């Protein structure tokens, strides 16, 4: 079962509350898709860094993420203010859920650069 452990600490009482929240997972590329739509919306000005964490020893590592997904049917496109000679329009307007469906297709699975393949100019 996929899920998230929510941990809340109240320092004044030295109290920790934990609970398991089940999460219906989608494709592992959802995070990459989120990064893709941010890159498209900024006309290539923002990129997410590719990274990985390597742990040595037995220390615990904790992380948290905050994500947003646009409503179905909302067209993602770069605002005019972010498109100029130095930052030309890189992607045609697209719907996030269309990109999600494409990422699960055979062509999407083969694409080296998903966003460019799906809606590159």
Give one DSSP letter per residue of 22-53, joined into a string. E-----TTHHHHHHHHHHHHTTTS--PPP---
pLDDT at position 35, please? Answer: 65
pLDDT at position 93, please? Answer: 93
pLDDT at position 89, please? Answer: 92
This prediction's pTM: 0.58
Q: How far apart are CA 113 and CA 2, in angstroms?
A: 27
Collect the ranges in the chain with pLDDT lower than 50: 1-2, 5, 8-11, 27-31
Residue tagged 């989120």 (tokens): 34
**Mean pLDDT for the chain?**
73
Q: How far apart are CA 97 and CA 99, in angstroms?
A: 5
């Amino acid at each position: 079962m996929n899920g998230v452990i929510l941990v809340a600490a109240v320092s004044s009482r030295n109290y920790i509350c934990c609970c398991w929240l089940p999460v219906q997972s989608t494709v592992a590329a959802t995070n990459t898709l989120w990064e893709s739509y941010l890159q498209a919306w900024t006309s290539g000005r923002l990129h997410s860094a590719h990274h990985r964490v390597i742990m040595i020893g037995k220390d615990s590592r904790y992380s948290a993420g905050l994500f947003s997904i646009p409503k179905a049917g909302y067209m993602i496109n770069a605002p005019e203010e972010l498109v100029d000679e130095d930052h030309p329009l890189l992607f045609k307007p697209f719907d996030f859920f269309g990109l999600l469906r494409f990422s699960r297709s055979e062509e999407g699975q083969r694409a080296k650069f998903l966003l460019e393949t799906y809606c590159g100019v």
